Amino acid sequence: MSQFEYVSIAVSMVYALVISRLLGSAFAAFRAPARYSVHVAWLFTLFLLCAFSWWRLWDIREIDWSGPLFVFAFVSPAILSLQVSALIGDDIEKPHSYRDVFFRNRVPFFAITCIFCVVGFLAPWIYGIASWFSVGPYQRVTLVGLAISAAGIALPAHRAQVAIVTCALIGLVAGFLLPFSNAGGG
């Protein structure tokens, strides 16, 4: 087994746990009386973010792995797990309104999302697949994600939150389509 296979299996298990938690909360989130469209859209966005982040593991298959890089590989799925926890909330009983849950946890959710964007911005440099201080297209998208997250903290209005989750979803798909590093001249 190669080092990449070892790392990818371990990290994939963490992503699987995050996706399991997302899917486990989906049924309750879709229930009519408690449903809140922004919350459902963020569940979908985080599901895609998990899938895309897992897929991006392939971009780092060629690096020389070390203990610190192995630990760093767990940072993104760990942050995603925290994001999911903030989005779902910690109510043991099913909440009466996911709108209330979302707005109660909005600031921690977006603060954790800011951290995720910073880690995503630094990742190509830390993994050594991009030259230090060269900013590739993927990193530009993470900066947009950081701005979107800051707006999510600053703008509590429903319409603003609809625009924010829409921009986040578009940015996520755009980021997935862009190269991880600027090795190709980005």
What pLDDT was estimated at residue 38? 95
Q: Which residue pairs, CB below 8 angstroms and at least 24 apart, start in 62-69?
A: 62/4, 62/129, 63/4, 63/127, 63/128, 63/129, 64/128, 65/3, 65/4, 65/7, 69/126, 69/127
Helices (runs of H) and strands (runs of E) counted in the chain: 7, 0
As a whole number, mean pLDDT of residues 72-86 equals 93
For residue 186, the model assigns a pLDDT of 41
User: What pLDDT score was predicted for residue 185?
Assistant: 43
pLDDT higher than 80, residue 165: yes
Q: What is the pLDDT of residue 94?
A: 65
**What is residue 42's three-state secondary structure?**
helix
Query: Is the per-residue pLDDT at 180 higher than 80?
Result: no
- Which residue carries 């998208």 as its tokens? 141
